[in-house]
Amino acid sequence: MSLLRLQGVTRTVELPDAEPLHILRGVDLTVDVGDHVSVVGRSGSGKSTLLNLLGLLDSPTSGNLEFDGVPLGRLSGAERDRRRGTDIGFIFQQFNLLGGRTALENVMTPLLYAPGKQFWRRERLAAEMLDKVGLGARLASMPEQLSGGEQQRVAIARALVRGPRLILADEPTGALDIDTGAAVMTLLDDVAESSGAALITITHDPNVAALARRHYRLDKGVLTEVDVNRVLSLAEGVGTL
């Protein structure tokens, strides 16, 4: 059974005094446990809307979206929220660490929404996860005391601390230099692989997209699978997004 399945998914926004805006048109996508998928696209191509749908933050206008075999429409708002907390980890371009909190407290934050043992053992679990991403010595550091790469590693630890089955990375290297970005992606790929989670990277950086095993291009709301050479050609400036 697929972890995530989209069939003919559309997303349309009604606009006042204007034609409806078709953001996503007939998107088909299947993601299995352990998959690594990248989606590249220009600004305005519908990447954010797709991310909202994949993260159970929005509902399609039409089509079918199933998470773990359960149609999205069958889940109540609170059930979606809980499933998001349990099964989905988000990594953002701007890291989005919570200010005024240490690295440890940031990684502990998702565990505040976990039930049972994960909640009561949150400090230990968070420390172990930070150790796993190489920040075992920076537990008490505030976000502003960390470099960009370190902040993104904290964000990765935070996304993975509840053991999600799907990691959604939204421009994960967008705020990092090339070398740091590459290091972060390698780490992300490694921890995702070792945890068996599926990784979907949404990016406009072909080099980052090329690291995935399957590659998609989103253009004007239409999602098309492309091969890695096509993605790499974009990176070399031969093709266009």
Residues that bind other proteins (CB under 8 A): 48, 51-52, 55, 57-58, 77-78, 81-86, 88, 90, 92, 96, 98-101, 105, 109-110, 112-116, 119-120, 158, 162
Q: Which is nearer to other proteins, 51 or 231 (CB)?
A: 51
Q: In angstroms, what is the minimal distance from the CB of 209 to other proteins?
A: 21
> What order do you get walking across the sheet with 21-31 strand by strand?
21-31, 4-13, 62-67, 70-71
Q: Which is nearer to other proteins, 132 or 162 (CB)?
A: 162
Q: How far is the CB of 159 from other proteins (least distance, A)?
A: 9
Number of separate helices (H) and strands (E) present in the chain:
9, 10
**Is 48 in a helix, a strand, or coil?**
helix
Q: Which is nearer to other proteins, 202 or 210 (CB)?
A: 202
Residue 40 neighbours by CB under 8 Å, 6+ apart: 203, 204, 205, 206, 209, 215, 216, 217, 218, 231, 234, 241
Rounded distance between C-alpha atoms, residue 161 and residue 146, angstroms: 19
Minimum distance from residue 114 beta carbon to other proteins (Å): 7
Instruction: Pick the closer one to other proteins by CB: 56 or 210.
Output: 56
The Cα–Cα gap between 221 and 196 comes to 29
Q: What is the DSSP letter of 13?
A: E
Using the structure block, give the residue that is written with the tokens 């990016």.
203
SS3 12: strand
Pick 12 or 233: Cβ nearer other proteins:
12
Interacting residues of 139 by C-beta distance below 8 A, sequence separation 6+: 102, 103, 104, 127, 130
Q: How far is the CB of 173 from other proteins (least distance, A)?
A: 17
Provide the 8-state DSSP code for 109.
Answer: G
Nearer to other proteins, 18 or 78 (CB): 78
Q: How far is the CB of 240 from other proteins (least distance, A)?
A: 25
Cβ 239 to other proteins shortest distance, Å: 28
Q: Which is nearer to other proteins, 122 or 217 (CB)?
A: 122
Closest distance to other proteins from the beta carbon of 86 (Å) = 7
Taking alpha carbons only, the member of 149, 170, 35 closest to residue 103 is 149
